[in-house]
Amino acid sequence: KKYIYSFDEGKKEMKSLLGGKGANLAEMSHIGLPVPPGFTITTEACLKYLEMGEELEDQIKEGIFDYIEELEEKQNKKFGDLEDPLLVSVRSGAVISMPGMMDTILNLGLNDKSVEGLAKKTSNPRFAYDSYRRLIQMFGNVVLGIPAYEFDNFLEDRKEKNGYDNDTELEVQDLKDIIEKFKNLIKKRKNIEFPQKPEEQLLMAVEAVFSSWNNSRARSYRNINDIPHDLGTAVNVQTMVFGNIGENSGTGVAFTRNPATGENKVFGEFLLNAQGEDVVAGIRTPKDISELKRLMPEVYEEFVELTETLEKHYKDMQDIEFTIQEGDLYVLQTRTGKRTADAAVNIAVDMEEEGLIDKETAILRVDPEDISQLLHPNFKKDELEKADMLAKGLAASPGAATGKVYFTSEDAVQAAEDGEDVILVRKETSPEDIEGMVKAEGILTSRGGMTSHAAVVARGMGKCCVAGVGDIRVDEDAKKFYVDDRVFSEGDYISLNGSLGEVYAGVIETTDAHLSDNFMMLMEWSDEYRQLGIYTNADTPKDAGVALDFGAEGIGLCRTEHMFFESGRIISVREMIVANTKKKRKKALDKLFPYQKDDFKEIFKVMEDKAVTIRLLDPPLHEFLPQNENDIKSLAKELSIPVESLKRTIEDLEEMNPMLGHRGCRLGISYPEIYKMQVKAIISAALEVNEEMGYDVQADIMIPLIGTEKELVILREQALEVAEELIDQASVDLSYTIGTMIEIPRAALLADDIAKHADFFSFGTNDLTQMTYGFSRDDAGKFINQYMDKEIFQKDPFATLDQKGVGKLVDMAVKLGRQTKKDLKIGICGEHGGEPSSIDFCHRVGLDYVSCSPYRVPIARLAAAQSAI
């Protein structure tokens, strides 16, 4: 089996074997870009290593040195040579890039002797010793697991002692002293000498990369991001090029377009006389890439050309790492650049217009979940003007966030779990902070650039982030930060504007999002491709209006009970519930009727000729009654009934298991007058709107929780009677239908019978999930996380449709229903109707529409288009 490929042997399609970095290094070599030669040890070698109990097979070890020999020939240098050694970098490269894993070791191959050779050979001892101290530092941290700060402390001490601002001011003797200190540190912590044999360094580094696949941070990252644990990582071994030779060398990271806005202009940062992670580690403040144009115009020009070549080849925005060695440009990595949702939309639409990609590709380029960022609020303008601005930093990831400050990942997680809105404040973040970042509303760092860990990760998560705010001083131990003479402690409120990089004291109110032309264009394109209709779940005219603006084509679920709670009505609802005779109940219902009718009229007016699916009363009645003593007393008074009798009614209505109790159509069977009033309100409202506005209202009456054919027969008959009588008396026409929800497994199993009496089906997958699994949707939260931790569930089935089980019932019900009625209209109105993978399922089983909350309508449009492509 072949476990190693040189860059000349690989190509970009071999990503699963070579990892992202390895595949792209090979690809870039092929298209003639300046990539230092090297080779990749495959992900299969990693799996083999892990399988053998963390041991490298002899075949792999030998292979590594065969390929080193090949590099030696190419470079005309010897690995381990004392005068002019071949030096390499060792870097991990998984299929999906992943923070938390061991990353990079540079200058590997140096030792106490060859560092002197290198100094002589290059006539640049500072460079040689700087390279060696970096090797020991990275090796000690990454391979041996000694915390990075222990090494940093020595550097900082020396800088402070000598009054240096920058590490570039360290002189040869400083570096030699530091190297001794580093070596002693390794000895003290690990009881070993820093290995002097380059071969040993190399094998230890390779093994460390492979082992890091299974470290806890990497595992936790994979769990959060649904990345399988059995992919393994590759290792890249590459000839070193040096950005730390002097002021005509340097290193940087850049995006071929702006990753925050999508603007078609190279965007990036670099440092002269620097190496490796210096730029992203926030050690010195990097320079903007435009500075390079001034400092090294020729290199800059070559660089811009290189970014253009890469974009033309990959047909997507690239994130690249480069090094300049004495005026020569090298590219060390390219990958598809992470971007904000705003940038994703702009880049997709721009690239289609530039002719680089087609419409289908543009649609597929944007993650539907991501666009929710664009639909999210910003700070209110007038509020913002009054706001108390503390400091300005980098606009690292857009959006607005307000919350209480916490200074450690653990504290942030705890506070978020206690229901607080959290702003995580750190000097800078590292992969150890991932969990806190996930839970935070926003992230604030005092150090680091646009490509710092905090910035990159926040953008990936679509989370508001302000980075590199130099004017604040963070004291993580004291859990405080300082701005001028002001102090902010744990629990104090601040607000962040990630789009402008601003930090404010206190709470700032937010407003709705604004949608760009490119966004609208992408939505239009989506509509050309998608086959599913996109409806919305809306209970009020306002929600319906928002959904229409977002492109909804109808209402798939209007939950009438939400109207019951509004002021003026809840009292009549309660009167209806406690009524002990039919007559009293009717009297209360008569009071409710005008409210219901007006509510429906308002919604019909907003929706004009579009479908409006109104569900008859669903929740158990006790939900409408007060529970505490005082409220019960005042209600009894208001209704002029004895407190004791009200208490008895409440007790009677209590159920052991209300979600499986007296609810849904069962209420319609017990109290026909409730459903009759609702049908009367719907039909009268529709008739009146048709008459007043000249619309052709589409009223769809939906009966919930049907489990037997007979229930539907009775309730449909009853509704028809009410409706027909009203229509007979009216002077205008009305199209209406009567359908049912499929949300009880029995209804799905017998959907052919149910369909005989239904004009449409709508899957209530919230209840269908609850009843298929047999666990309560209100209580399952207590253990679902454990199920996810133990990998019994990959996803929460209440958020992402369980396609295998619940989906089987859906698929079956669609087929059975259409067996009875070929053209039966079928949709979904459970929460899953707004979740991309569930939408894809709905597309595949042939639903006519999905219905979701207003803010998810654009997500659903895009997801439905992607399913159809």
Residues labelled catalytic: 453, 829
Q: Does 586 bind ligand PEP (CB under 6 A)?
A: no
| Contact stretch for ligand PEP (CB under 6 A) within 58-66, 729-737, 762-770, 814-822 | 762-770
Compute the half-sphere exposure of residue 668: CA atoms within 13 Å on the CB side of its CA: 26
Please choose which of Mg ion, ligand PEP, none residue 546 contacts, taking the beta carbon within 5 to 8 angstroms, the exact cut-off set by kind: none
- Which residues are paired to 533 by β-bridges? 849
- Which residues are paired to 335 by β-bridges? 319
- Measured from the CB of residue 557, what is the shortest distance to ligand PEP in angstroms? 6
Q: Does 707 bind Mg ion (CB under 5 A)?
A: no
Cβ proximity to ligand PEP, 437 vs 706, nearer residue: 706
Decide if 738 contacts 759 (C-beta within 8 A): yes
733 is in an annotated binding site: no
Q: Does 766 bind ligand PEP (CB under 6 A)?
A: yes
Footprint of Mg ion on residues 338-397 (CB under 5 A)?
none
Other beta carbons within 10 Å of 192: 9
764 is in an annotated binding site: yes
Q: According to the 3-state scheme, what is the secondary structure of 210-250?
A: HHHCCCHHHHHHHHHCCCCCCCCEEEEEEECCCCCCCCCCE
Instruction: Quote the crossing angle between the two packed helices 114-122 and 125-138, to the nearest 10°.
Output: 140
Cβ proximity to Mg ion, 347 vs 826, nearer residue: 826
Please choose which of ligand PEP, Mg ion, none residue 266 contacts, taking the beta carbon within 5 to 8 angstroms, the exact cut-off set by kind: none
- Measured from the CB of residue 743, what is the shortest distance to ligand PEP in angstroms? 5
Cβ proximity to ligand PEP, 525 vs 760, nearer residue: 760
Footprint of ligand PEP on residues 739-758 (CB under 6 A)?
743
Q: Does 316 bind ligand PEP (CB under 6 A)?
A: no
Cβ proximity to ligand PEP, 27 vs 743, nearer residue: 743
- Measured from the CB of residue 359, what is the shortest distance to ligand PEP in angstroms? 33
590 is in an annotated binding site: no
103, 743, 802, 848: which one binds Mg ion (CB under 5 A) = 743
Cβ proximity to ligand PEP, 509 vs 623, nearer residue: 623
Q: Does 765 bind ligand PEP (CB under 6 A)?
A: yes
Among 78, 71, 122, 109, which residue's Cα sits nearest to residue 325?
Answer: 122
- Cα–Cα distance, 148 to 282 (Å, whole number): 14
- Exposed, middle or buried, 385 (CB in 10 Å: 0-12/13-18/19+)? exposed
Among 842, 846, 835, 834, which residue's Cα sits nearest to residue 552?
Answer: 834
Decide if 262 contacts 365 (C-beta within 8 A): no
Decide if 803 contacts 828 (C-beta within 8 A): no
Sign of CA dihedral 76, 37, 247, 294: positive
Phi, psi of 79 (to 5 degrees): -65, 125
Alpha helices in 440-487 (DSSP H): 453-461
Q: Does 557 bind ligand PEP (CB under 6 A)?
A: yes
Q: Does 559 bind ligand PEP (CB under 6 A)?
A: yes
Phi, psi of 592 (to 5 degrees): -75, -35
Cβ proximity to ligand PEP, 443 vs 829, nearer residue: 829
Please choose which of ligand PEP, Mg ion, none residue 722 contacts, taking the beta carbon within 5 to 8 angstroms, the exact cut-off set by kind: none
743 is in an annotated binding site: yes
Q: Does 767 bind ligand PEP (CB under 6 A)?
A: yes
- Cα–Cα distance, 236 to 224 (Å, whole number): 26
Q: Does 700 bind Mg ion (CB under 5 A)?
A: no
| Contact stretch for ligand PEP (CB under 6 A) within 390-398, 501-509, 513-521, 764-772 | 764-772
Tokens of 356: 């680089």
Cβ proximity to ligand PEP, 98 vs 617, nearer residue: 617
DSSP per position, 285-303: PPEEHHHHHHH-HHHHHHH
Tokens of 727: 């229509």
Q: Does 539 bind ligand PEP (CB under 6 A)?
A: no
501 is in an annotated binding site: no
Please choose which of ligand PEP, Mg ion, none residue 321 contacts, taking the beta carbon within 5 to 8 angstroms, the exact cut-off set by kind: none
The type of residue at 597 is K
Rg of the chain (C-alpha set): 33
Please choose which of ligand PEP, Mg ion, none residue 830 contacts, taking the beta carbon within 5 to 8 angstroms, the exact cut-off set by kind: ligand PEP
Among 366, 349, 346, which residue's Cα sits nearest to residue 865?
Answer: 366
Among 547, 378, 397, 541, which residue's Cα sits nearest to residue 461?
Answer: 397
Q: How many residues bind ligand PEP (CB under 6 A)?
A: 10
- Cα–Cα distance, 803 to 369 (Å, whole number): 19
698 alpha-carbon distance from chain centroid:
37
| Contact stretch for ligand PEP (CB under 6 A) within 113-121, 360-368, 678-686, 761-769 | 761-769
316, 618, 688, 840: which one binds ligand PEP (CB under 6 A) = 618
Footprint of Mg ion on residues 752-781 (CB under 5 A)?
764, 767
Among 608, 659, 683, 626, which residue's Cα sits nearest to residue 777?
Answer: 659
Footprint of ligand PEP on residues 813-842 (CB under 6 A)?
829-830
Cβ proximity to Mg ion, 244 vs 762, nearer residue: 762
State the binding site for substrate: 559, 615, 743, 764-767
Q: Give the residues lining the site for Mg ion (CB under 5 A).
A: 743, 764, 767
Q: Give the residues lining the site for ligand PEP (CB under 6 A).
A: 557, 559, 618, 743, 764-767, 829-830
State the binding site for Mg(2+): 743, 767
